[in-house]
Structure 1
Amino acid sequence: MTSASRQHSRGVSLLEVMATMAVMLLGVAAAMTVVSQTSKANRRTLTANQAQLIAERTLESIQARGCTPAPSACANIAGLDGNREVFYQTAAGDLLRQPPSAPGAIARQYEVAVDVDAEFLASSLEGGAAGVGEPAVNRDLTSTGLKGNVANVRVSVSWEEPEREGRQVVVLQTRMAP
């Protein structure tokens, strides 16, 4: 065997092994960062979707009540203005009005706020009488010329998110008329 052939058959040096390990370690660290960030984004999206479902459910229950024409338009939902409720959504998907009592149960707290703006609730209109919105809530909707027959109903669902500043919120809104 010649010295040239002996030189080609030698093993991998310690320096080469360490360089390979360093490159692999960087690749694994990058992959772990991507997985972690994706997981956080998925959690935020799930939380926002749950909040939207709670808002939809609340708004649908208000719409199911309807908007009565007398004594004043939509007076039956006027009592909902300023209403606030707290719900807890568990990891199992249960929506509770109280924190779960099971030990170790995980639940996110959501606050649901209802805002009803209508001409018959003058104090509810942002900006007073001038703030009737566009189109105005006091416009004619019926052939009888009855004014003030529209209510703007807004449902806000908010929650606190770890690692984010302030409360996060989802808002749904509709206008109701008799």
Structure 2
Amino acid sequence: MTRVDMRRQTKGVTLLEVMATMAVMLLGIAAAMTVVTQTTRSNRRTLTANQAELIAERTLENIRARGCALSPPCGNLVGLDGTREIFYQTAGGELLTAKPTGTTIARQYEVALDLDGTPLASSFENPTTGLGVPAVTRNLADGKPGNVVNVRVSVSWEEPGRTGRQVYVLQTRMAP
């Protein structure tokens, strides 16, 4: 064999081919890392919203467990209107009323309560305008006259990378 034939038979990879292959691989890795990062953020937001939902459900169930006094209608709940509480949810799922110390990481949630039991002249619940069906002041299921109380629980938190507070709201009506 001659030298010319040996050169043609030898197959190697040039430096340019290696660099092009590395560039394509780096682009692929960068795209995969972007997908993982976005998925992680989305999962964290979903987890935070689920935790807020659980806090709202627990708060609403605690209010429902108190019941609704007959006279004045739900008068035992009036003191809850406009109240706000701060809770801290740890990564382990523990719900705290005080900010944790040390290395414990916890997200802060604010729980606000709004109870509307009497018709407001400026609302859809105004009985004189005929708006708000069914009316807050109406005969209850047992035929007795009474009031229905709107109970609204709002849970809010700050989400890193987003402006303003995020809010989850649950609402129900209670009657004596």
TM-score normalized with structure 1 length: 0.88
CA distance in 1, matches of 2:46, 2:122: 31
Q: Structure 1's 42 and 5: CA in aligned 2 closer, same or farther, altered over 3 A?
A: same
CA distance in 2, matches of 1:52, 1:129: 27
* Partner residue in 1 for 2:89: 89
Matched, 1:76 2:76: yes
Give the match's secondary structure for 1:55. helix
Structure 1, unaligned runs of 5 or more: none
Q: Structure 1's 38 and 143: CA in aligned 2 closer, same or farther, altered over 3 A?
A: closer
Query: Which stretch of the first structure deviates more once superposed, 85-94 or 50-59?
Result: 85-94
Give the match's secondary structure for 2:138. coil
Give the match's secondary structure for 1:139. strand
CA distance in 1, matches of 2:155, 2:122: 20
Give the match's secondary structure for 2:151. strand
Among all aligned residue pairs of Structure 1 and Structure 2, give the percentage whose two residues are the same amino acid: 64
CA distance in 1, matches of 2:164, 2:51: 18
CA distance in 1, matches of 2:125, 2:112: 23
**Counterpart among 153, 161, 174 of residue 159 in structure 2:** 161
Instruction: Write the deviation string for residues 10-66 of structure 1: whole angstroms up to 9, x where unpaired.
Output: 310000000000000000000000000000000000000000000000000000011
Task: State how many pairs are aligned.
Answer: 172
Instruction: Write the deviation string for residues 51-84 of structure 1: whole angstroms up to 9, x where unpaired.
Output: 00000000000000111112x1111111111010
Alignment of structure 1 residues 47-126 onto 2, 5 Å: 47-70=48-71, 72-101=72-101, 103-119=102-118
* Partner residue in 2 for 1:136: 135
Alignment of structure 1 residues 36-51 onto 2, 5 Å: 36-51=37-52
Query: Does the 8 Å contact 2:80/2:113 carry over to 1?
Result: yes
Query: Does the 8 Å contact 2:124/2:132 carry over to 1?
Result: no
Query: Does the 8 Å contact 2:125/2:135 carry over to 1?
Result: no
Letter in 1 for 2:148: V
TM-score normalized with structure 2 length: 0.89
